[in-house]
Amino acid sequence: MTKTANTDHPILDLHARRYSPYAYSDQPVTDVELQSLFEAARWAPSSYNEQPWFYIAARKEDAQQHEQVLSCLVDGNQAWASHVPVLVLGCYCRHFTRNGNPNKCAQHDLGLASMALTVEATHRNLFVHQMAGILPDKAREIFQIPDDYEALTGLAIGHLGDGTDLPEAIRSRDSGERGRKPQSEFVFGGTWGQAAPWLS
């Protein structure tokens, strides 16, 4: 089941088709597909072109590494992500390599890279579910992440499934309607909380 967004204004089909399912099939993600996804991430914009993002990726075919990444997710995410063909941890570097100063945009830039990856995935009829529910300390221990780097997010990547293997609570959440706040609630014009006049 796909859930194309019912948008208020015209947008690219890729954005309308993108969503974060819980149900994934066991169809593998190919080498070529993964290379293209991370190539899209590679070309994302970043502050001073620092490119502070790093990824730890595990495919279901490598059962040990897949299980290691899975173990870095909170229990609620493990409940559905164990069947996903590719699991990824998104990491960032806290400081600029150019001068050692704190990089206040690092998390933002990791998000940009992951969104670029996600849009590329949508173009290729793949789906990405990004997760905040991870265990950063466990990821540091298992993957020996250096002190100046931090695991921030998880990503599940694969082909859409039918959801029959999902726990009931997650299956009902997966089949629910998509929704978003109207632009007037987050696009302001001069005064905080006052919708931009051109939104009317």
pLDDT digits (tens, 9 = 90+) for 26-68: 999 999 999 999 999 999 999 999 999 999 999 999 999 999 9
Segment 163-172 mean pLDDT: 85
Q: What gap in Å lies between CA 113 and CA 90, rounded to an integer?
A: 9
What is the pLDDT, as a whole number, of residue 174? Answer: 85
Question: Which SS3 state, helix, strand or coil, does residue 4 take?
Answer: coil
Residues 6 or more apart whose Cβ sits within 8 Å of residue 196 = 187, 188, 189
Q: How far apart are alpha carbons 140 and 66 in whole angstroms?
A: 16
Reading the block at residue 153, the tokens are 């997010």
Query: Which residues are within 8 A (CB) of 200 and not within 5 positions of it... i.e. 6 or more apart?
Result: none
Query: Read out DSSP for 154-176?
Result: EEEEE-B---TTS-HHHHHHHTS
State the average pLDDT over residues 185-195. 95
In 10 A of CB 133, how many CB atoms?
A: 13
| Whether the predicted pLDDT of 200 surpasses 80 | no
pTM tops 0.75: yes
Among 40-49, 85-94, 165-174, the minimum mean pLDDT is found in 165-174
Provide CB contacts within 8 A for 60, sequence distance 6+.
26, 28, 66, 84, 85, 86
Domains of the chain plus CATH, in order, are 20-177 (3.40.109.10)
Mean pLDDT of 128-152: 98
Residues with Cβ within 8 Å of residue 156, at least 6 apart in sequence: 24, 81, 84, 86, 87, 88, 128, 129, 131
Structure tokens at 76: 């609620």
91: three-class secondary structure by DSSP: strand
Q: How confident is the model at residue 1 (pLDDT cuts 50, 70, 90)?
A: low
Say what angle helices 106-123 and 31-42 make with each other, to 10 degrees.
Answer: 140
- Residue-by-residue DSSP string for 112-147: HHHHHHHHHHHHTT-EEEEES-B-HHHHHHHHT--T
pLDDT at 137: 98
